[in-house]
């Protein structure tokens, strides 16, 4: 073999406000010659500055930083540097945050009790463009035990979306609903499209079936 793979160094940023957490992670990661820590800091501001100024493949960010939350940093990095894979680190459980973090565009969720080998696996996976889902989170997702999946689909709708959903489900037309709510037909159509998308449905008949099944209409 030509040994080319060993030339690929994963450039990594590490942001956590606990010095000892960073020191521990740095010690474990730097034992691997394919991983290099190129930036480090204790705040969201430092993380955002580093992503802007220092080319990196992977950025590990604590969910609870003293200034902004790790989620805020994640959202900004997704927009400004979509090529950087973000791993969110948290002392909170995967049940509470795992799925939401992935949905917000993170490449993976790292609970602080993960084993050193899992940390290294996660960094390599996301650097290669894949998502990292820990075995525990995969199991939770499979059995529907994350907080997000516990909610019924209609609970994700805004108040206005739910109001329009209820009227569509009982067979009212877009123009009838527009009249009742003093909205334009175009606005009601926009709400309709948005709620269908959120609920992964295609037609008004789907909405009616769902409403009956979930006892939302008699």
Partner 1 sequence: MTGSERNLPASRPIRVQVVEDLVRVQTLLREIIEEPGRLEVAGMSDNEEAALRQFETLQPDAVVIDLALRSGTGLGLIQSIRRQQGERRPLLIVLTNYTQPTIASACLKAGADHFLDKSRDFMKVRKLLDQVP
Backbone angles phi, psi at 208, to 5 degrees: -60, -45
Helix (H) or strand (E) holding 76: helix 70-80
Answer for the pair 33, 6: CB distance below 8 angstroms, yes or no: yes
* Cβ 56 to partner 1 shortest distance, Å: 20
Stretch that binds partner 1, among 13-21, 54-62, 93-101, 173-181 (CB under 8 A): 13-21
- Please choose, from the candidates 116, 99, 113, 124, the residue with its C-alpha nearest in 3D space to the C-alpha of residue 10: 124
Verify binding: residue 209, partner 1, rule CB under 8 A.
Answer: no
Tokens of 216: 């939302």
150 vs 141: CA distance, rounded Å: 10
Distance linking the first and last C-alpha atoms of the chain? 69
Among the listed residues 115, 149, 205, 212, the single contact to partner 1 using CB under 8 A:
115
* Cβ 109 to partner 1 shortest distance, Å: 15
Tokens of 7: 């030339």
CB of 18 or CB of 131, closer to partner 1 = 18
Answer for the pair 162, 151: CB distance below 8 angstroms, yes or no: no
Verify binding: residue 37, partner 1, rule CB under 8 A.
Answer: no
CB of 27 or CB of 193, closer to partner 1 = 27
Verify binding: residue 66, partner 1, rule CB under 8 A.
Answer: no
Verify binding: residue 105, partner 1, rule CB under 8 A.
Answer: no
Among the listed residues 9, 54, 113, 180, the single contact to partner 1 using CB under 8 A:
113
- Please choose, from the candidates 37, 95, 41, the residue with its C-alpha nearest in 3D space to the C-alpha of residue 70: 41
Planar angle of CA 93, 46, 78, nearest 5 degrees: 65
Verify binding: residue 58, partner 1, rule CB under 8 A.
Answer: no
Verify binding: residue 32, partner 1, rule CB under 8 A.
Answer: no
CB of 17 or CB of 148, closer to partner 1 = 17
Among the listed residues 55, 66, 82, 116, the single contact to partner 1 using CB under 8 A:
116
Name the residues that contact partner 1, by CB under 8 A: 18-21, 23-25, 27-28, 31, 112-116, 119
């Amino acid at each position: 073999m030509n040994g080319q793979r060993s030339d690929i160094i994963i450039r990594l940023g590490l942001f956590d406000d606990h010095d000892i957490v960073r020191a521990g992670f740095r010690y474990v990661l730097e034992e691997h010659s394919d991983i290099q820590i190129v930036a480090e800091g204790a705040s969201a501001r430092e993380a955002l500055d580093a992503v802007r100024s220092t080319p990196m493949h992977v950025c590990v960010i604590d969910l609870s930083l003293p200034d902004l939350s790790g989620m805020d940093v994640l959202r900004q990095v997704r927009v400004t540097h979509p090529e950087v894979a973000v791993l969110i680190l948290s002392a909170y459980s995967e049940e509470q945050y795992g799925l939401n973090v992935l949905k917000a565009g993170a490449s993976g969720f790292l609970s602080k009790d993960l084993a050193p080998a899992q940390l290294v696996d996660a960094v390599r996976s996301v650097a290669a463009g894949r998502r990292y889902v820990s075995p525990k989170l995969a199991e939770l997702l499979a059995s529907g035990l994350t907080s997000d999946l516990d909610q019924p689909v209609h609970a994700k709708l805004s108040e206005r979306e739910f109001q329009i959903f209820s009227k569509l489900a009982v067979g009212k037309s877009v123009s009838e609903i527009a009249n009742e709510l003093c909205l334009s037909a175009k606005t009601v159509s926009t709400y309709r499209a948005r709620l269908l998308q959120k609920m992964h449905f295609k037609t008004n008949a789907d909405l009616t079936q769902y409403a009956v099944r979930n006892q939302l209409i008699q």
